[in-house]
């Protein structure tokens, strides 16, 4: 299980294996925190990017280069209406905009809920390696207890596909078709390549599991009901934060011994006769949640905590199956949602229900995290009005997504200012209730929000104010009660200046010292030995953090010559940066004569070497 407060674990799971580089990656999540997503490219690019205390380095120059280098290589699909509004807008989000796609489930009553990553790596010898992550964790800063399954494999040269890989490959292939706006051809082709090759990857499954029986389960894509557990089993363990009584009763009817682990508030909503039929009913020890309550996480806004893992352990004969992924033990998960999980099959004596619930003196096992639930406790009454309001908010979100709002940018009469119109072919209609919807670009304050209409104009926006990331505030009222939800949608943006990313680059490189540090950083991060040492981290320290660093130019010449010796690729990254800066005003302040005298002969030598 992942520690709920350590995003670093996911970062490590995404890092390329030794001797490999990331080629293409695709990820899915139900909810998305933009700041969390902003950190992803660091895991693709670098090796030891954390402080001594384990905190991730978030220097803007490191993030800038990681986004510039890998922004066109990874794509994230998330449920429409589930992107969280960051407390403050970082300009680097400009580079993240093309990577994120809002998704709707094919079933109108379902949601897009999987948490899967498929990553394609290219080894130094040209071999193609894949890593697949099947998680219960969303791409957020939630403080939850979650599970993760990571498997790797190499692309084989076989002509015939591996049958057990089809559900995974079909799932990846279906993703572009679920997006609310079309993907550019290059992204579609990258995802199609992953889907095609996954059919011929021979995965290495975790130790102790039978590779001939492990498999993938996807739900919600073809309209068919998913039935992964079989009609009968010996024992069952259900770990799920959310529950539906019919699903739990189905488990109880198909086994003589079922154990249930969930959140207390979910358990309270089940009938007592259902709970009474369970062999045990437990929940996460409260202190495991409370110890994290004082943590301040950078995502801001609503943060989930407690149990979030989804785990089903099914004993059948001498074997046991462990199902891990996004499926909750709910009716919607198995009947309507898009979901994904992995089935690991191993010996019952090692992976069965009894092993999960076994307690051993001197060891901390899964059962030690749990506390018995009082099945005779009074049921907390559900506020029917609040439930209706929550359902109404989801209806409003679906209506907004289906109206496919789009953005059109036109030049304002004042120089370097723009008007951005948000328009839809139709205005969504809501059920009988008081609904107030307002919208604004996330680069602006909420006070600039405007009531939803068929057309809205956000006027006099600067280059930095333009963004397809639009915040929506939905407020619903009924029977003198009120609910509110704020979320972000990434919309289709037309007519925006093509140099928006270039201007962000220039805005982050404010002076000559930052420029030289960035050049050194570009060159050094291509050198694995340097990237794994403290030298590269020092390059990103500001002058006030490193008073005794000394002049940069000697380091610059030495690093340029070393890069020239290794090959022209890193120097091409520098040349690309210089082309961007030369197009922006004030570049002469950065590109001094001293720098040009060092750079030009080395770049000329690199071009000559490339031409040979």
pLDDT at 443: 97
pLDDT at 304: 62
Q: Is the domain of 445 the same as that of 348?
A: no
pLDDT at 224: 74
pLDDT at 114: 98
Q: Is the domain of 452 the same as that of 593?
A: no
pLDDT at 335: 94
pLDDT at 525: 63
Question: Is 1 a residue whose pLDDT tops 50?
Answer: no
Which one has a higher pLDDT value, 548 or 253?
Answer: 253
Which one has a higher pLDDT value, 103 or 376?
Answer: 103
Q: Report the range of poorest mean pLDDT among 353-362, 411-420, 548-557, 592-601.
A: 548-557
pLDDT at 210: 95
**Helix axis angle, 553-566 relative to 593-611, nearest 10°?**
10
Note the pTM of the prediction, 2 decimals.
0.91
Say how far apart CA 329 and CA 56 lie, in whole Å. 35
Which one has a higher pLDDT value, 357 or 9?
Answer: 357
Residue 542 inside a domain? The answer is yes
Say how far apart CA 241 and CA 267 lie, in whole Å. 9
pLDDT tens across 117-127, in order?
Answer: 999 999 999 99
Whose structure tokens read 């060092």?
598
Torsion angle (degrees, nearest 10) of CA 170, 7, 186, 507: 160
Question: Is 111 a residue whose pLDDT tops 90?
Answer: yes
Which one has a higher pLDDT value, 522 or 201?
Answer: 201
pLDDT-above-70 percentage for the chain:
88
Q: Is the domain of 174 the same as that of 68?
A: yes
pLDDT at 594: 83
**Distance between terminal CA atoms of the chain?**
53
Residues 324-332, mean pLDDT to the nearest whole number: 97
pLDDT at 590: 84
Q: Report the range of poorest mean pLDDT among 25-34, 132-141, 225-234, 408-417.
A: 225-234
State the alpha helices, DSSP H only, in 352-419.
353-356, 384-402
Question: Is 3 a residue whose pLDDT tops 50?
Answer: no
pLDDT at 588: 77
DSSP 380: P
DSSP 183: P
Residue 214 inside a domain? The answer is no
pLDDT at 529: 47
Residue 3 inside a domain? The answer is no
Q: Is the domain of 490 the same as that of 520?
A: no
| DSSP calls for 257-309 | -EEEEE-HHHHTTS-HHHHHHSSEEEEE-HHHHHTTTT---TT-S---EEE--
DSSP 345: E
pLDDT at 193: 97
Q: Is the domain of 106 the same as that of 42?
A: yes
pLDDT tens across 263-308, in order?
Answer: 999 999 999 999 999 999 999 988 766 554 444 344 444 556 688 9
pLDDT at 300: 41
The residue out of 342, 372, 402 marking a domain boundary is 372
* Residue ranges making up the domain that contains 467: 388-497
Residue 230 inside a domain? The answer is no
Q: How confident is the model at residue 190 (pLDDT cuts 50, 70, 90)?
A: very high
Residues 192-203, mean pLDDT to the nearest whole number: 97
Say how far apart CA 306 and CA 283 lie, in whole Å. 10
Q: How confident is the model at residue 10 (pLDDT cuts 50, 70, 90)?
A: confident
Residue 310 inside a domain? The answer is yes
Say how far apart CA 132 and CA 116 lie, in whole Å. 7
Residue 458: how many CB atoms within 10 A of its CB? Answer: 24
What is the CA angle 219-220-222, rounded to 5?
A: 100
pLDDT at 33: 95
Residues 10-19, mean pLDDT to the nearest whole number: 86
Q: Is the domain of 201 the same as that of 312?
A: no
Residues 165-191, mean pLDDT to the nearest whole number: 97
pLDDT tens across 330-382, in order?
Answer: 999 999 999 999 999 999 999 999 999 998 888 888 888 899 999 988 777 88
Q: How confident is the model at residue 88 (pLDDT cuts 50, 70, 90)?
A: very high
Residue 221 inside a domain? The answer is no
Count of domains observed in the chain: 4
The residue out of 372, 405, 420 marking a domain boundary is 372
pLDDT at 290: 55
Q: Is the domain of 164 the same as that of 274?
A: no
Residue 23 inside a domain? The answer is yes
CATH at 138: 3.30.870.10
CATH at 295: 3.30.870
pLDDT tens across 198-223, in order?
Answer: 999 999 999 999 999 999 999 999 87
511: left (phi over 0), alpha (psi -120 to 50) or beta: beta
The residue out of 209, 225, 249 marking a domain boundary is 209
Q: Is the domain of 317 the same as that of 204?
A: no
Buried b (16+ CB within 10 A) or exposed e, 175-210: bbebbbeebeeebbebbeebbebbbbbebebeeebe
Residues 437-459, mean pLDDT to the nearest whole number: 93
Q: Is the domain of 242 the same as that of 335?
A: yes
Q: Is the domain of 549 the same as that of 435?
A: no
Are 11 and 42 contacting, i.e. CB atoms less than 8 angstroms apart?
yes
Provide the mean pLDDT of the chain.
87
pLDDT tens across 458-513, in order?
Answer: 999 999 999 999 999 999 998 889 999 999 999 999 999 999 999 999 988 888 88
pLDDT at 214: 96
Residue 29 inside a domain? The answer is yes
Residues 6 or more apart whose CB falls under 8 angstroms from that of 135 comprise 10, 115, 116, 117, 146, 147, 148, 149, 325, 326
Q: How confident is the model at residue 553 (pLDDT cuts 50, 70, 90)?
A: low
Q: How confident is the model at residue 57 (pLDDT cuts 50, 70, 90)?
A: low
Q: How confident is the model at residue 43 (pLDDT cuts 50, 70, 90)?
A: confident
pLDDT at 223: 75
pLDDT tens across 555-595, in order?
Answer: 678 888 888 888 777 798 899 999 999 888 777 778 888 88
pLDDT at 357: 93
Q: Is the domain of 48 the same as that of 143?
A: yes
Q: Report the range of poorest mean pLDDT among 65-69, 281-285, 472-476, 539-543.
A: 539-543
CATH at 478: 2.60.40
Q: Is the domain of 291 the same as that of 396?
A: no
């Amino acid at each position: 299980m992942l520690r709920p407060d350590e995003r670093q674990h996911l970062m490590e799971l995404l890092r390329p294996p030794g001797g490999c580089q990331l080629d293409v990656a695709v990820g899915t999540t139900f909810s998305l925190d933009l700041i969390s997503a902003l950190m992803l490219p660091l895991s693709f690019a670098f090796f030891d990017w954390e402080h001594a205390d384990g905190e991730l380095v978030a220097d803007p120059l490191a993030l800038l280069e990681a986004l510039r280098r890998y922004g066109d290589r990874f794509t994230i699909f998330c449920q429409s209406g589930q992107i969280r509004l960051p407390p403050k807008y970082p300009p680097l989000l400009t580079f993240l905009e093309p990577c994120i796609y809002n998704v709707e489930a094919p079933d109108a009553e379902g949601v897009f809920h999987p948490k899967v990553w498929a990553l394609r790596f290219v080894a130094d010898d040209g071999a193609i390696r894949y890593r697949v992550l099947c998680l219960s964790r969303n791409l957020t800063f939630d403080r939850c207890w979650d599970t993760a399954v990571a498997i790797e494999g190499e692309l084989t040269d076989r002509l015939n596909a591996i049958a057990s890989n089809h559900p995974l490959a079909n799932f990846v292939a279906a993703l572009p078709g679920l997006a609310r706006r079309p993907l550019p051809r290059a992204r579609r082709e990258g995802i199609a390549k992953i889907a095609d090759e996954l059919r011929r990857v021979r995965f290495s499954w975790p130790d102790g599991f039978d590779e001939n029986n492990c498999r993938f389960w996807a739900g919600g894509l073809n309209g068919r009901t998913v039935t992964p557990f079989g009609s009968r089993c010996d024992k069952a363990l259900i770990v799920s934060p959310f529950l539906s009584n019919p699903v739990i009763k189905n488990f109880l009817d198909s086994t003589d011994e079922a154990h249930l682990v969930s959140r207390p508030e979910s358990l309270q909503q089940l009938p007592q006769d259902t709970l009474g039929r369970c062999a045990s009913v437990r929940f996460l020890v409260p202190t495991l949640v409370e110890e994290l309550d004082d943590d301040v996480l950078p995502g801001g806004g609503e943060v989930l905590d407690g149990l979030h893992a989804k785990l089903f352990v099914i004993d059948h004969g001498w074997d046991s199956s462990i199902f891990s992924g996004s499926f909750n033990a709910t009716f919607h998960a198995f009947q309507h949602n898009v979901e994904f999980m992995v089935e690991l099959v191993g010996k019952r004596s090692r992976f069965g229900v009894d092993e999960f619930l076994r307690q051993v003196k001197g060891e901390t096992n899964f059962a030690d995290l749990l506390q018995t639930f009082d099945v005779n406790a009074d049921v907390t009454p559900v506020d029917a009005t609040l439930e209706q309001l929550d359902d109404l908010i989801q209806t409003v979100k679906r209506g907004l997504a289906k109206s496919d709002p789009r953005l059109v940018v036109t030049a304002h009469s004042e120089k370097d200012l723009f008007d951005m119109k948000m328009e839809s072919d139709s205005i969504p209609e809501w059920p009988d209730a008081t609904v107030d919807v307002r919208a604004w670009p996330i680069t602006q304050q909420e006070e600039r929000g405007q009531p939803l209409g068929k057309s809205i104009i956000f006027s006099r926006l600067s280059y930095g104010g333009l963004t397809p990331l639009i915040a929506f505030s939905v407020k619903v009222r009924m029977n003198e009660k009120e609910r509110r939800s704020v979320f972000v949608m990434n919309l289709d943006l037309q007519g925006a200046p093509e140099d928006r990313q270039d201007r962000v680059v220039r805005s982050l490189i404010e002076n000559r010292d930052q420029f030289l540090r960035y050049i050194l950083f570009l060159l050094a991060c291509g050198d694995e030995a340097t990237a794994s040492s403290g030298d590269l981290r020092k390059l990103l320290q500001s002058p006030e953090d490193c008073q005794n660093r000394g002049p940069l130019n000697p380091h610059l010449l030495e690093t340029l010559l070393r890069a020239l010796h290794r090959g022209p690729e890193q120097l091409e990254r520098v040349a690309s940066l210089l082309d961007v800066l030369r197009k922006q005003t004030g570049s002469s302040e950065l590109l001094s004569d001293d720098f040009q005298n060092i750079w030009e002969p080395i770049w000329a030598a690199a071009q000559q070497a490339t031409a040979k």
